[in-house]
């Protein structure tokens, strides 16, 4: 389930990577929010062995609403929400996530996200250095009256022992999130009142 708005280059890389996925039972759903850069047309031309549906919205709908459209259009019991700028680095990525979800009796499984290159130039600092962790789950800062979600692990070594373990997290990002349909629908999906902000954390 990929949400897109004017992200043609990202979307093309993402779809190309998904086409190489070793896991076989895949249906690709792209929800395009009124792109003007030819994203939807490009997606229609991408060669993939998996069936693909493209939903074209005439307006930029919210993250919650657009992803809800995609879920309704799909038929699988497992739903993978994937940002268009996520580029899986192994053909086994989805299989690993499915195995974890089904063997750990979890409702949802997230992936560790890694910066693929030195972003922002050599002076950007170690946090943005090549192959460092961008996201390792979400924790909550409870020192305030209202708990504030904080990204875990930014700048860390993706090959460190703790980074390669399967572990529980207080919350996950929907940048790459596998969830069972029954669990997703059991909480009525992403809350519609949000407008591009912590919908996934609230899930």
**DSSP conformation class of 168:** -
Cα–Cα distance, 191 to 47 (Å, whole number): 34
Residue 140's pLDDT is: 93
pLDDT of 36: 97
pTM for the predicted model, two decimal places:
0.89
Token pair, residue 125, equals: 């600092």
Residue 93 · residue 83 · CB < 8 Å? no
Q: Which of 47, 61, 67 is nearest to 2 (CA)?
A: 67
**Confidence class for position 119, pLDDT limits 50, 70, 90:** low
Superfamily the domain 2-188 falls into = Spore Coat Polysaccharide Biosynthesis Protein SpsA; Chain A (3.90.550.10)
Structure token digits, residue 159: 């090959």
Pair 174, 203: CB distance under 8 Å: yes
Residues 159-175: tens digit of each pLDDT: 888 888 899 999 999 99
Domain ranges of the chain: 2-188
Query: What gap in Å lies between CA 95 and CA 88, rounded to an integer?
Result: 12
Whole-number Å distance between alpha carbons of 29 and 38: 17
Q: What is the mean pLDDT of the chain?
A: 90
- What average pLDDT does this structure show over 83-97? 94
129 pLDDT above the threshold of 70: no
């Amino acid at each position: 389930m990929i949400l897109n708005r004017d992200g043609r280059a990202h979307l093309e890389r993402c779809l190309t990577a998904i086409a190489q996925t070793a896991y076989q039972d895949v249906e690709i759903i792209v929800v395009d929010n009124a792109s003007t850069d030819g994203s939807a047309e490009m997606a229609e031309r991408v060669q993939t062995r998996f069936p693909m549906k493209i939903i074209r919205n005439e307006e930029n709908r919210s993250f919650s609403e657009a992803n809800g459209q995609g879920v309704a259009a799909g038929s699988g019991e497992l739903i993978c929400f994937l940002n268009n700028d996520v580029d899986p680095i192994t053909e086994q990525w989805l299989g690993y996530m499915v195995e974890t979800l089904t063997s750990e009796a979890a409702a949802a499984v997230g992936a560790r996200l890694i910066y693929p290159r030195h972003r922002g130039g050599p002076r950007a600092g170690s946090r943005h250095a090549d192959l460092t962790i961008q996201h390792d789950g979400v924790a909550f800062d409870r020192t305030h009256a209202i708990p504030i979600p904080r990204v875990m692990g930014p700048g860390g070594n993706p090959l460190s022992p703790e980074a390669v373990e399967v572990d529980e997290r207080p919350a996950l990002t929907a940048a790459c999130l596998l969830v069972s349909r029954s669990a997703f629908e059991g909480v009525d999906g992403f809350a519609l009142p949000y407008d591009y902000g912590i919908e996934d954390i609230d899930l």
